[in-house]
């Protein structure tokens, strides 16, 4: 259902408020550059510091701007099951094509608790659900056996796998087969993950190089591994640059240097150090983005 280059889009701010025009302009640019789907209010969208009404407005504005041209997968995960159901239901009512649900963070449920959490949301809200495993942020790894159990639920259709562990990714693909689309959650793993049978990526780097990420995914889905490999190696310096500082500090700084958004993130995230900003500027200049 969801495949190719899916951007985890930033939330542009201006004077600590959503910059609606900048978000609309970013979305139009992404569609023109070949991005296959858009995720508002994910990690890169600073969902952790959005108020509910801001969160819903970003989803609504994204859906309105996209106007059916590509799928919109709304980030609606929380560490409370009831809250996740509430937000996911709102995204469905706004017209989202799917919902991205991060593994509950901080409270560290068991694998059985994870299964029950996702099943409860899937049972309560009739919308395609994308699981999101990112143990580096949640302090909890959703194991392949749990993913395989969840793949048996009709409206759980995909997983964003950001463990960085290709052995785990391989096991998820082996266990789930065609029941679940596996998407990369780490840009550096997109090429190997898709050669194992993954269907695409929910990408940070696509924020700044949407055409290259889209073309790499298209080449992989068409079996043109030589073309995809060239793009993978071209993208690697950029992939690394997006994590010079905590995501999304680097990507928002890069977009500001490119003239796309204001250089503004919400506390406790703060602007890049000048030293790191110079490193980033040199990398994106060498890439051809400046």
Identify the segments of the chain with pLDDT beneath 70: none
Residue 228: inside a domain: no
CA dihedral 234, 237, 239, 244 (to 10 degrees): -170
Per the structure, the count of domains in the chain is 1
Is residue 139 situated within a structural domain?
yes
Q: Is residue 251 part of a domain?
A: no
Asked if residue 233 belongs to a domain, the reply is: no
Q: Kindly report the CA angle at 129 between 125 and 133, in degrees rounded to 5? A: 130
Half-sphere exposure of 87 (CA within 13 A, CB side): 30
90 occurs within a structural domain: yes
Q: Tell me whether residue 157 is in a domain.
A: yes
How many other C-beta atoms lie within 10 A of the C-beta of residue 271?
Answer: 15
105 is annotated as an active-site residue? no
> Residues 6 or more apart from 49 whose CB is under 8 A from it?
266, 267, 269
Question: Each residue of 267-288: pLDDT tens digit?
Answer: 999 999 999 999 999 999 999 9
Let me know if residue 285 belongs to a domain. no
Distance, CA of 260 to chain centre: 19
Q: Is residue 274 part of a domain?
A: no
The residue among 33, 99, 32, 102 whose CA lies nearest residue 63 is 99
Per-residue pLDDT reduced to its tens digit, 183-221: 999 999 999 999 999 999 999 999 999 999 999 999 999
Considering the candidates 90, 132, 252, 277, report the single residue annotated as catalytic. 132
Choosing from 3, 90, 160, 277, the catalytic residue is: 160
Cα–Cα dist 130/41, whole Å = 14
- CATH code of the domain containing 73: 3.20.20.70
Residue 1: predicted pLDDT: 81
208 close to 186: Cβ distance less than 8 angstroms: no
Q: What is the pLDDT at residue 239?
A: 97
Could you tell me which residues come within 8 angstroms of residue 281 by beta carbon, excluding any fewer than 6 positions away? Answer: 257, 290
What pLDDT score does 135 carry? 95
* pLDDT value, residue 13: 98
Domain ranges, residue 46: 4-222
160 catalytic residue (yes or no): yes
Residue 166, classified by CB atoms within 10 Å of its CB into exposed (0-12), middle (13-18) or buried (19+), is: middle
């Amino acid at each position: 259902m969801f495949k190719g280059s899916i951007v985890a889009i930033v939330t542009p701010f201006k004077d600590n408020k959503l910059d609606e025009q900048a978000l609309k302009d970013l979305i139009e640019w992404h569609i023109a550059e070949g991005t296959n789907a858009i995720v508002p209010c994910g990690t890169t969208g600073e969902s952790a510091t959005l108020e509910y009404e801001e969160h819903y407005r970003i989803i609504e504005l994204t859906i309105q701007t996209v106007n059916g041209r590509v799928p919109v997968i709304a980030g609606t995960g929380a560490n409370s099951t009831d809250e996740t159901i509430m937000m996911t239901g709102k995204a469905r009512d706004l017209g989202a094509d799917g919902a991205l649900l991060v593994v509950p963070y901080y409270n560290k449920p068991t694998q059985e608790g994870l299964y029950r959490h996702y099943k409860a949301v899937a049972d309560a809200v009739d919308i395609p659900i994308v699981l999101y495993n990112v143990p580096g942020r949640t302090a909890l790894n959703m194991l392949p056996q749990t993913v395989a159990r969840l793949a048996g639920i009709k409206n759980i259709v995909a997983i964003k796998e950001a463990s960085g562990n290709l052995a785990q990714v391989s096991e998820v693909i082996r266990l789930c087969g065609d029941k679940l689309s596996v998407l990369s959650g780490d840009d550096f793993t997109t090429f190997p993950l898709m050669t194992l049978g993954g269907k695409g990526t929910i990408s940070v780097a696509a924020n700044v190089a949407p055409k290259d990420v889209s073309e790499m995914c298209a080449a992989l889905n068409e079996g043109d591994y030589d073309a995809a490999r060239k793009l993978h190696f071209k993208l690697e310096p950029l992939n690394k640059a997006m994590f010079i500082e905590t995501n999304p500090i680097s990507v928002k700084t890069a977009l500001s240097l490119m003239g796309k958004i204001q250089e503004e993130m919400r506390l406790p995230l703060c602007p890049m150090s000048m030293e790191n900003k110079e490193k980033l500027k040199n990398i994106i200049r060498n890439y051809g983005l400046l």
